[in-house]
Amino acid sequence: MCRLAFIYSEDQEITKKIINAMIESSKNDKYKVAIGWGPSHGDGWGVIAFSLARGNKVEKTYSYTTVTPIYDDTYGTMNLLEFLSRQNRIALSIHSRFTSSGIVDVFNTHPIIVNGEGRDFMLWIAHNGTMNKELLAKELGLEPLHEVSDTYYLGLYIHRNIKELEINELINTFKQASIYTKTAMNTINMFYSLRKGLHTVVTCYLNDELKQKRQYIDYYKLYLLKADKTIAITSSTIADILRDEF
């Protein structure tokens, strides 16, 4: 149960407004209240940002995770905004967490990084929703650990089942992963490959039971926001705050 956003932009001012909307929505989320929870997402936040050169070649990265709520972390948010202000073009994933699985710890703070297993790519995954951790772990041949979040096992599953960053393989892998969804599989997946550069996959999936309940649709809905030099995909609360900007 989280708020998340993907941003691809050459407009520093719009990017800053999206980050600020993320902070505001994490402190007071009316859609979270509507499904019976408190208003805040206070179990930490994280970001992975890529500075892009010509041809979207990655020049540098910025990553940060903490268990401090984003709305209380002036140091972290100011450092992020300072980094972004010096870049001409960026792509980033940002996530604010309310724990549904696993303990509050930087290990579980999204975006969670997954690499290894002989692949030439790394994955940073941010997730809103709850997966069946036990079934995912079983499929991976692992014992599910209480302390570890469901998103970690989802990231392992995705990374392990993608051999090449090809469109059909990506579609098939995420389609198969959705079988393990308890509530929703809203994800931002940023892949960086030595051979193929940066790829981003965003998913929005809600289970059949929750599709019948308007308050859950409103909570889990993702919005595509477009401006002159910006494309963003955000959680509903963030999109509401930014309504006049796009």
pLDDT digits (tens, 9 = 90+) for 117-165: 889 999 999 999 999 999 999 999 999 999 999 999 999 999 999 999 9
- The CATH class given to the 2-245 domain equals alpha beta
- For the chain, the domains span 2-245
What residues contact residue 51 under an 8 Å CB cut-off, 6+ apart? 58, 59, 60, 61, 62, 87, 88, 89, 90
Q: Are 109 and 46 in contact (CB under 8 A)?
A: yes
Q: Token pair of 183, please?
A: 């509530």
Share of the chain above pLDDT 70, in %: 100
DSSP letters spanning 117-179? TT-SEEEEEEEES-B-HHHHHHHTT-PPPTTS-HHHHHHHHHHHH-SS--HHHHHHHHHHHGG
pLDDT digits (tens, 9 = 90+) for 82-122: 999 999 999 999 999 998 767 999 999 999 999 988 899 99
Q: What is the rounded CA–CA span in Å between residue 10 and residue 6?
A: 14
pLDDT digits (tens, 9 = 90+) for 34-79: 999 999 999 999 999 999 999 899 999 999 999 999 999 999 999 9
